[in-house]
């Protein structure tokens, strides 16, 4: 069952669902080998990591409204998605445990210059003050 169809089924009984229970990362060299002009080429196996992927999340309109949407104090990258997920868990808890299709989200390589997880990024202290 494709992920979107599965998520739609989940949202028939639950206010939100994470779409992937783990992720996989592809190196810069590996990313360049995945798809070129719509053609798939041989590529290395992604490096898998086990953690919930909170960025790709499906939720009902009602659940999103109940938590007040995204907290607009977050600017740019870092913790805005985790904050939303924490709010959904707190304010619209699921009736049953989270389930998954068993597929990993594959993240292609991209520059990470903007991935500052130090206190220099205003989102970092904001998140830890909030939660």
CB 106 within 8 A of CB 26: yes
User: How many Å apart are CA 127 and CA 101, to the nearest integer?
Assistant: 29
- pTM value is 0.79
The burial of 78, by beta-carbon neighbours within 10 Å (0-12 exposed, 13-18 middle, 19 or more buried), is given as buried
DSSP 63: H
Q: Work out whether the CA dihedral 37, 4, 98, 14 comes out positive or negative.
A: positive
pLDDT digits (tens, 9 = 90+) for 46-99: 666 666 678 889 999 999 999 999 999 999 888 999 999 999 999 999 999 988
Average pLDDT, the chain: 84
Which token pair is 114? 């903007």
Number of domains into which the chain is organized: 1
Residue 129: its pLDDT value, please?
Answer: 96
List the domain range (segments joined by +) for residue 68: 3-130
């Amino acid at each position: 069952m494709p992920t979107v169809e599965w998520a739609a089924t989940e949202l028939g009984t639950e206010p939100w669902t994470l779409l992937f229970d783990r992720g996989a990362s592809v190196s810069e060299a590996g990313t360049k080998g995945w798809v070129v002009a719509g053609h798939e080429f041989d590529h290395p196996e992604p490096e898998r990591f086990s953690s919930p992927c909170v960025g790709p999340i499906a939720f009902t309109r009602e659940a999103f409204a109940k938590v007040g949407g995204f907290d607009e104090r977050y600017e740019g990258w870092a913790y805005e998605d985790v904050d939303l997920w924490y709010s959904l868990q707190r304010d619209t808890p699921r009736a049953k445990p989270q389930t998954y299709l068993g597929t990993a989200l594959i993240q292609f390589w991209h520059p990470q210059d903007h991935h500052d997880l130090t206190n220099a990024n205003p989102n970092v202290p904001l998140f830890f003050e909030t939660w």
